[in-house]
Amino acid sequence: MKIVYLHQYFEKDKGGTRSYEIAKKLVAEGHQVTVITGNEVSSCEGITIISTKTPYRQEYGYLRRILSFLIYMLKSLFYALLEKDIDIVYATSTPLTVGLVGKWVASIKKCAFVFEVRDLWPDVPIQLGIIKNHFLIKILYRIESGIYNKADKIIALSEGMKIDIIQKGIHPNRIEVITNFADINRFKAISITDQIRLYTKYPQLQNKFISLYAGTIGFVNHIDYILKLAESTTHDKILYVIVGDGKEKPRLMREAKLAKLTNVLFLDAVSKAEAQTLMTMSDVGMCFVRDKEILNRNSQNKLFDFWAAGKPTLINYKGWQDEVMREFKAGQGFDYENLDDLRLYLENLSIHKKHYKEVQQQVVQLATQYKKEDLLDRLNDILQNINKERATLL
């Protein structure tokens, strides 16, 4: 098959690398893959990568972000239409405009269209109060509906997302769930030498019970919650480590300094490899969001990385992740307002080593349910079946 893969934020060595892993797998299965991205990334490992050279930063204001979305939409459409003999166009959100390109390319090129839903747009920005204009909201919902109805298959990253899409009138048979991946073998390959190098680079991490956040420091990620947690923590050994960059970081650093939070350490963004090494050095992971029910459906890649590293992870919401952690006795989620309960749980893990080891062993078992290789095999089968079904109709 020839697959044109649309992802505005495609990365191979930092941040979320889901698309890179998918593209690598598809190439390994003998498919021809062309990725069209806004980032400047070179072709690699048999993947043809076309860059629209469309700048995008988390620090951008909303108007500049919209401009970036529109530029990528137009440029990616142009490049995609130049491709010949396309079997499947695979478009991954966000932004929602990527789905429009996939829809248009599929219509013009008479090929199959697969739309991957990583976040529920426009529901999330609307419920967070980011988008308020009623006319714009109406347009965005119409765009979303058009994309869903055109797609031959929708890939949702969680069961919660699938349920929401079904409630929008899409038949369940047209939706598959492929969560983010636990790359267990990658974490097994991280050596003590790798860890020592980072302990030397960051001596503040030595002899501490590390509660780690690694990722974008933006509005939705709600790092303010970590500062509140740190402020209420009395155990000296617990160190809250925040790794990454983003629009909110300067303000948060000022607030931590004003509050004299000596148990909070901010580190600059690091490579994907170093972030993964830091995860193996941590004791507990943190994946927090703002207090909005719509965010309970999320499928944060960081959470799967922590699970793959065998680390208990704190989340300040309920939903499917809380359910599977409880099922495997691998931790639990907490309601947003129950910060004190979450803090006590963390302090308990830091004090009682036997209990920590028991939870950690269960996390290792939980991670096998989301093993990268198994989910990639399943996605490849889904795409092959779409192509076969379409061939029988022609």
Instruction: Identify whether the C-beta of residue 92 lies closer than 8 Å to the C-beta of residue 154.
Output: no
Residue 295 has pLDDT above 80, yes or no: yes
| Cβ 103 vs Cβ 146: under 8 Å | yes
What pLDDT score does 57 carry?
A: 77
What is the pLDDT at residue 220? 86
Tens of pLDDT, residue by residue over 123-132, are 998 998 888 9
Tell me, what DSSP letter sits at residue 368? G
Beta carbons within 8 Å of 202's beta carbon, 6+ residues apart: 265, 267
What is the average pLDDT across 272-286?
96
Closest CA to 17 of 312, 381, 286, 376: 376
Burial class (CB in 10 A: 0-12, 13-18, 19+), 82: exposed
Question: What is the pLDDT at residue 142?
Answer: 96
Per-residue pLDDT at 211: 98
Mean of pLDDT values over 153-162: 95
Q: Domain 2-181+371-393 adopts which CATH fold?
A: Rossmann fold (3.40.50)
pTM for this structure?
0.93
10 by DSSP, 3-state: which? coil
pLDDT score recorded for residue 357: 97
Eight-class DSSP state of 93: P
Q: Where in 171-263 does DSSP place strands (E)?
A: 175-177, 209-214, 238-243
Q: Residue 8 is which amino acid?
A: Q
For the chain, report the end-to-end CA distance as a whole number of angstroms.
16
Tell me the average pLDDT of the chain. Answer: 94
- pLDDT per residue over 253-264, tens digit each? 999 999 999 999
Residue spans per domain, the chain = 2-181+371-393, 184-369
Residues 147-158, mean pLDDT to the nearest whole number: 97
Rounded mean pLDDT of 227-240?
95
Integer CA distances (angstroms), 225 to 189, 283, 340, 344, in order: 32, 19, 12, 15
**2-181+371-393 and 184-369: identical CATH topology:** yes
pLDDT of 62 reads 76
Give the whole-number percent of the chain exceeding pLDDT 70. Answer: 99
Asked if the 184-369 domain carries CATH number 3.10.310.30, the reply is no
Q: What is the CA radius of gyration of the chain?
A: 21
Rounded to whole angstroms, the Cα distance separating 324 from 331 reads 9
**Quick check: 86 and 61 in contact, CB under 8 A?**
no
pLDDT in tens, 311-324: 999 999 998 999 99
Task: Encode pLDDT of 17-31 as tens digits.
Answer: 899 999 999 999 999
For 32-36, 56-60, 78-82, which range has the lowest pLDDT when averaged over its residues?
Answer: 56-60
Q: How confident is the model at residue 394 (pLDDT cuts 50, 70, 90)?
A: low
The HSE-up count of residue 371 (CA atoms within 13 Å, CB side) is: 9
Return the pLDDT at 199. Answer: 97
Residues 360-381: tens digit of each pLDDT: 999 999 999 999 999 999 999 9
Q: How confident is the model at residue 389 (pLDDT cuts 50, 70, 90)?
A: confident
